[in-house]
């Protein structure tokens, strides 16, 4: 798992990790290109990636897609959990509930995140997950932004707990937060 | 001292540290339950804590409360300095001064923070302080948010300077920023 | 290079590094004092600095200024790249382009940042650069804030790549992200 702020170099670091592994790489994009700004961001990422990487778009059902794609000789790079979370919260009406000041009851979001946490430890091959740190600023005024910051933080904790290695990236430089125990 | 972003797992890490110490734990809550969202956050924290922990609410006069509670066989867990700071800035009119574009002159805030910094090194037993990092985002547009970010950052620096151990938490994982020198 | 959030103690740490080096120090301020709040921030920084440090203001043409000032026995402390970036984006019309939803085409910004990256490795003496981390919060709603967060993140990556040492500061405490290889 690779976490960091926006424009921290976390995607680039993840791509380097995928290249270094020597496995066949499948890139799983969770973004949907909707407007000019997002289209430019996606193009900016795409032009960096090797042409022989597979590329799959999966905005919502990540666990099912990972079960389908994972294989012992494959490295799957998911970029990123933050857009996936955003897609779930908006598709599943949690954003609307937060806006209205209601308690959040969103089966799509709860089910998909639980499925990811349960699925990750069972997958063969290598999985690299990119996710944003978004809770290091002032608590946002808008209730949807607060919901998003809360759920992103909780998701990062839960995913980090089931990953072997967690790396924080700042200014393009990696800092290891969790590493597999060294084998003697 | 345990710092981190919102939903970074810092409270959970602090609770684990308190449990591991084997001392009697007193939990000092600085939050006041005012609305539905805050009440849900408080309940979310409370259901995690062991039933035999003492629990005290102290929104403002933290130094005096710590002097009263601290004892050699006791671990006091303060969660969190961020809400305490917010309570002081609003109770002491600093927030209103910032809103009006005036220089900040707030004796309550200045006195309470100075008292905490002076008191901390003198206390017996173990003190665990939880605080947020809030200055890693875009500078906020609202002057009260800027005041808050500035004072939270300064407070974290001053408290960290008088603590033996400072840990940064991200995605539930601790990173040591300051540790007591190893005794031979 | 010294990075960190707002009020993280990064300027103070940079000043201590400059003092420890034993060289003649020139402080390069990128800030322009325009309003009451900024004037107070600048005064807050100034009263901490030794009186024998040279001080130069350079809001825009940083690479040219560094080439002019750098010398083998000199330490130049630039505080900070964040205000310099902000000055460039506003002076060069990139902010206005972002506001209008246009693609960014800003020769001043592109030229000055490229000149800095090219110049840094060629300079004699010691250069300390202070820069903010601003991408660790919720993605800002305003397009100019998003442009700024993006370009600050990219700039930090590019500068970090050409610096010998990169230190992250939180709560006044330094954490090494990149260090020169130890010589035997």
pLDDT of A105 > 90? The answer is: no
pLDDT of B30 > 80? The answer is: yes
Q: How confident is the model at residue C44 (pLDDT cuts 50, 70, 90)?
A: confident
pLDDT of A107 > 80? The answer is: yes
Is there a contact between C136 and A138 if contact means CB atoms under 8 Å apart? no
pLDDT: is C95 or A123 the higher one? A123
Give me the pLDDT at residue B98, please: 87
Please give the average per-residue pLDDT across A133-156, as a whole number: 92
pLDDT of C68 > 80? The answer is: yes
Give me the pLDDT at residue B83, please: 94
Percent of residues, chain C, with pLDDT higher than 90: 70
Give me the pLDDT at residue B123, please: 98
With CA atoms as reference, the chain C residue closest to B103 would be: C37
Looking at the complex, report in whole angstroms how far the Cα of residue B52 sits from the nearest Cα belonging to chain C.
32
pLDDT, chain B, mean: 91
Residues C18-30 pLDDT 10s: 999 889 999 999 9
Q: How confident is the model at residue C184 (pLDDT cuts 50, 70, 90)?
A: low
Percent of residues, chain B, with pLDDT higher than 70: 95
CA angle A136, B16, B125 (to 5 degrees): 100
Which of B3, B104, B135 is best to mutate for the C interface (most C CBs within 10 A)?
Answer: B135
pLDDT of B36 > 70? The answer is: no
Is there a contact between B173 and A178 if contact means CB atoms under 8 Å apart? yes
CATH class of domain segment(s) B2-178: alpha beta
Q: What value of ipTM does the predicted structure carry?
A: 0.90
Which of B4, B132, B136, B161 is best to mutate for the C interface (most C CBs within 10 A)?
Answer: B136
Residues of C with CB under 8 A from a CB of A: 1, 3, 5, 101, 103, 133-139, 141, 143, 146, 149-154, 156-157, 159-161, 166, 168, 175, 177-178
Q: How confident is the model at residue A33 (pLDDT cuts 50, 70, 90)?
A: low
With CA atoms as reference, the chain A residue closest to B3 would be: A136
Q: For residues C86 and C106, give the distance between their C-alpha atoms in angstroms, rounded to a whole number.
A: 13
Give me the pLDDT at residue A94, please: 84
Is C58 marked as binding a ligand? no
Q: Is A49 helix (H, G, I), strand (E, B) or coil?
A: coil
Q: How confident is the model at residue C183 (pLDDT cuts 50, 70, 90)?
A: low
Q: Which of A101, A135, A141 sits opposite B6 (nearest CB)?
A: A135
Give me the pLDDT at residue A148, please: 92
pLDDT of C43 > 80? The answer is: no
Cβ(B120)–Cβ(B162) under 8 Å? yes
Phi-psi region of B78 (alpha: psi -120 to 50; beta: other; left: phi over 0): beta
Cα separation values, B82 from A150, B60, B62, C4, Å: 16, 11, 12, 19
Residue A57, strand partner residues: A29
Q: Using CB atoms, which chains have 3+ pairs under 8 A with B? A: A, C
pLDDT of C132 > 80? The answer is: yes
Residues A113-127 pLDDT 10s: 999 999 999 999 999
pLDDT of B183 > 80? The answer is: no
Residues C28-40 pLDDT 10s: 999 876 666 667 7
Residues B3-25 pLDDT 10s: 999 999 999 999 999 999 889 99
What count of CB pairs under 8 Å joins A to C?
78
Give me the pLDDT at residue B182, please: 77
Q: Which residues of B touch C12 (CB under 8 A)?
A: 157
Cβ(B73)–Cβ(B23) under 8 Å? yes
Looking at the complex, report in whole angstroms how far the Cα of residue A106 sits from the nearest Cα belonging to chain C.
21
Is there a contact between C159 and A171 if contact means CB atoms under 8 Å apart? yes
pLDDT: is B110 or B21 the higher one? B110
Is there a contact between B134 and A139 if contact means CB atoms under 8 Å apart? yes
Residues A34-88 pLDDT 10s: 666 667 777 777 787 888 899 999 999 999 999 999 999 999 999 999 999 999 9
Give me the pLDDT at residue B33, please: 67
Which string of DSSP letters, residue by residue, matches C109-178? Answer: HHHHHHHHHHHGGG--SEEEEEEE---SSPPPSSHHHHHHHHHHHHHHHHHHHH-S-EEEEETTEEEEEE
Give me the pLDDT at residue A44, please: 74
Give me the pLDDT at residue A92, please: 82
**Domain-wise residue ranges, chain C:** 2-178
- Which residues lie closer than 8 Å to B146 by C-beta, 6 or more apart? B98, B139, B140, C37
Which of A3, A7, A135, A148 is best to mutate for the C interface (most C CBs within 10 A)?
Answer: A7
């Amino acid at each position: 798992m690779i976490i960091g702020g926006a424009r921290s170099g976390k995607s680039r670091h993840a791509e380097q990790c995928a290249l270094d592994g020597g496995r066949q790489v499948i890139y799983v994009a969770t973004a949907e290109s909707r407007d000019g700004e997002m289209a430019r961001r996606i193009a900016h990422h795409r032009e960096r990636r090797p042409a022989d990487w597979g590329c799959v778009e999966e905005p919502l059902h990540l666990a099912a897609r990972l079960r389908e794609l994972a294989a012992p000789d494959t490295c799957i790079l998911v970029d990123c959990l933050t857009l996936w979370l955003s897609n779930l919260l908006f598709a599943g009406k949690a954003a609307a509930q937060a806006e209205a000041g209601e308690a959040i009851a969103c089966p799509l979001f709860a089910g998909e995140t639980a499925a990811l946490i349960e699925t990750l430890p069972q997958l063969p091959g290598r999985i690299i997950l990119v996710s944003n740190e978004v809770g290091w600023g002032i608590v946002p005024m808008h209730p949807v932004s607060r919901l998003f910051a809360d759920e992103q933080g909780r998701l990062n904790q839960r995913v980090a707990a089931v990953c072997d290695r967690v790396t924080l990236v700042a200014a393009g430089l990696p800092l290891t937060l969790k590493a597999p125990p060294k084998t003697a």
